[in-house]
Amino acid sequence: MSSPAPYSNDPQDLFRAGEESLQAGRFEQAVACFEKLLALRPEDAQVHSRLGVAHISSGQAEKAIACFRDAIARDASFLPAYQNLALALCEAHRLEEAQAVCRQGLEIDPACVPVYLVQAKILNLAGQSEAAEGVLQKALEIEPGHPDVRGNLGTVQALLGRREEAVENLEKALAAQPLNVSYHRSLASFKKYEGPDDPHIQAMQAALKDTRLQVGTKAGLYFALGKACEDFGDYPAAFANYETGNAMVSAAIRFSLPRVETYFRQICGSFTRAFFDAHKGAGLRDETPVFIVGMPRSGTSLAEQILASHADVYGAGELHDVFHLFAQELNLLPQDYAAHFAALTEDKITACAQAYLASLRKHDPAARFITDKMPLNFRYIGFIKTMFPQAKIIHCIRDPRDTCLSIFKQLFVGSLPFAYDQVHIAGYYGLYREMMAHWHRVFPGEILDFHYEELIGDQEKGTRVLLDYCGLPWQDSCLDFHKTQRAVTTASAAQVRKPIYKGARGAWKNYEEFLAPEILDL
């Protein structure tokens, strides 16, 4: 429906206009439609729920959560509200609450496949991919032909390293849903393409030309096609696809490098040597957490996979706990970060550490070490060392040109607004490098700089560096990390299923003519 629809007072027109706006990616217009409809039908659970969908689509998770709760309050049997509430809680990284909502929905209808799908997503995000597979198998028993069950099952099996089963289920899902970009991307992430005539490449190109494809999802296909072209060595075509996909994402988001610079400098100005000297008694002397940090695509997944192949280590993946604890403090912050953090009591710091450790231990109650490989935790090393003064911190470093190119080639699941413009990537990299220099000055000799290229050049030596830093005895399984059976839910899932691959070193040279000077000069 055209733009006058939101100003109509007819409920059917408003609902139709809201749905069409959602499909077209006009989320603000969708919100306006459903808000006006809600004024006419304040007790309609479906309207509350659709307004929530419009909010979550526009990145307003908290508003969406409130809408879905309002829908359930008006009709406790309205299952779409449970499904969507759980998804919104996922977006807010409130996974335990999301799981509880799924259980409530399944109590109402134990055969509700959409709720099983959300439950599997939550488990997967929590690093419990095997449990997610079990949930999806149960859903498959209820509806054997459900394409979303097949597609999600294939995606989880790919993360678990079971390639043949993953291909079978993803291809079945795509046969039923040829415009499902998520399934195309999952298949492309681990499939090896031999040439431009590959049927899956042709299927993705056909999907791009299909007028039914939602505009907001097209970028994912361009990233998948870029990876496919790279597989068979057509680097100009690969870069053209990556560039188109990045431009689409960049046009839809806002990023300010000066704001990031201010944020980083406020953090560095707060966590100084003087700060730590004044808080020597704070935190926990617990060595369980091992933090693996660095820029995205710098080798953090590989470092974690090597460590997680040791009997004394559990790899928990990318956790959001440090950020959430830090954000709780930020919500209370005045403009003067340094004054606020300097006033933190030892009891408050210890309470933060206890909350983090309790959450971490849910992954494995008995492991000697548990890794948290959220790369961007490099921003919060000061906060981490306040909570855990003896914590091991592994800083992964890779050739900045390879790192920045690899970021540009990736459509990230989470929010990385700097990642879709070469100049922004280079600028962010420079700020990251300055911040890491600060942490090394504050904690001399305490942070391990783990170089990707050195590991590639001498795998055993690099592995020993990791194990020695953590005080772990040698185990041959760490050399055979690619055989370790654990879920890897990051963009590196396919790479860590293979032995060390030296071809990833210097990959930027294949794209040198296309890279911005700002990246080449890093």
Looking at every residue in the chain, the average pLDDT score rounds to 91
| Cα gap 327→315, rounded to integer Å | 24
> Are 296 and 346 members of one domain?
yes
Q: Is residue 481 part of a domain?
A: yes
Most confident of 86-95, 202-211, 325-334, 478-487: 202-211
Model confidence at 4, pLDDT cuts 50, 70, 90, reads very low
Q: Is residue 113 part of a domain?
A: no
pLDDT tens per residue across span 155-211: 999 988 899 999 999 999 999 999 999 999 999 999 999 999 999 999 999 999 999
> Are 353 and 226 members of one domain?
no
C-beta pairs of 194-201 under 8 Å, 24+ apart in sequence: 194/231, 194/232, 195/232, 196/229, 196/232, 196/234, 198/228, 200/228, 201/225, 201/228
| Cα gap 182→56, rounded to integer Å | 18
Residue 61 is predicted with a pLDDT of 87
> Are 322 and 458 members of one domain?
yes
Q: Is residue 152 part of a domain?
A: no
Domain boundary (252, 280, 312) is at 252
| Cα gap 22→235, rounded to integer Å | 35
Mean pLDDT of 349-361: 94
Comparing CA positions, the residue from 113, 91, 93, 89 lying closest to residue 101 is 89
Res. 335: pLDDT tops 60 = no
> Are 241 and 388 members of one domain?
no
Report whether 132 contacts 156 (CB < 8 A).
yes
Q: Report percent pLDDT > 70 for the chain.
A: 93
Report whether 155 contacts 136 (CB < 8 A).
no
Burial class (CB in 10 A: 0-12, 13-18, 19+), 244: middle
Mean pLDDT of 134-159: 95
Tokens of 296: 């995205």
Model confidence at 446, pLDDT cuts 50, 70, 90, reads very high
Domain boundary (252, 267, 298) is at 252
- Which of 273-282, 446-455, 469-478 is predicted with the least confidence, judged by mean pLDDT? 273-282
> Are 326 and 184 members of one domain?
no
Tokens of 343: 């006033």
- Which of 81-85, 286-290, 324-328 is predicted with the least confidence, judged by mean pLDDT? 324-328
Residues listed for the chain: 522
**What domain range is 438 assigned to?**
257-520
pLDDT tens per residue across span 384-397: 999 999 999 999 99
Amino acid at 331: N
Q: Is residue 58 part of a domain?
A: no
> Are 240 and 374 members of one domain?
no
> Are 329 and 302 members of one domain?
yes
Res. 341: pLDDT tops 80 = no
Report whether 358 contacts 302 (CB < 8 A).
no
**CATH number for 319:** 3.40.50.300
Residue 9 is predicted with a pLDDT of 82
Task: Give the 3-state secondary structure of residue 314.
Answer: strand
pLDDT tens per residue across span 236-256: 999 999 999 999 999 888 899
Domain boundary (252, 286, 308) is at 252
Report whether 87 contacts 114 (CB < 8 A).
no
Q: Report percent pLDDT > 90 for the chain.
A: 77
Q: How many domains does the chain have?
A: 2
Res. 98: pLDDT tops 60 = yes
Distance of CA 265 to the CA centre of its chain: 25
> Are 244 and 264 members of one domain?
no
Residue 336 is predicted with a pLDDT of 63
> Are 295 and 426 members of one domain?
yes
- Alpha-carbon distances, residue 22 vs 25, 27, 54 (angstroms): 5, 6, 7
> Are 186 and 288 members of one domain?
no
Report whether 438 contacts 269 (CB < 8 A).
no
